[in-house]
Amino acid sequence: MIFNIKTMNSKIKKTVMAGIIGTAIMTLVMMIAPMMGLPKMSPPKMLSGMLGAAPIAGWLMHFMVGILFAFAYTYSFSCVFKKVIKNVWLKGALFGVIAFVFA
């Protein structure tokens, strides 16, 4: 298999952007969740507390984890499961369940 550097760089950029956008959307959902009666959750606050660092460190770690999830999705579902699962909605749902169980 021959790798095209331009395609690979594009895929990496898209994956990083998807991780940032996905993390931002999920963070907004978590901020709105208490208004719907769900418990208040703040992963950045939890991460900064565990690290004993400033809140900005928690936010950076939070987004880094989101980007890592995006890379895990890109690798596993575009390389490993590419031929097994054809439906993109099913791939997304399956990855969502896996991420939920992991979390």
Place 6 in a pLDDT band, splitting at 50, 70 and 90. Answer: low
Reported as a single tens digit per residue, the pLDDT across 26-61 is: 899 889 989 999 888 888 999 899 989 999 999 999
Q: Cα(77)–Cα(15) distance, rounded to whole angstroms?
A: 12
- In three-state secondary structure terms, 58 is helix
Q: Cα(47)–Cα(54) distance, rounded to whole angstroms?
A: 10
Which pLDDT score is estimated for 19? 92
Radius of gyration of the chain (CA): 16
Supply the pTM of this predicted model.
Answer: 0.75
Place 1 in a pLDDT band, splitting at 50, 70 and 90. Answer: very low
Mean pLDDT score, 5-10: 68
Mean pLDDT score, 12-36: 91
Which pLDDT score is estimated for 72? 87
Q: Which of 53, 60, 74 is nearest to 20 (CA)?
A: 60
Place 25 in a pLDDT band, splitting at 50, 70 and 90. Answer: very high
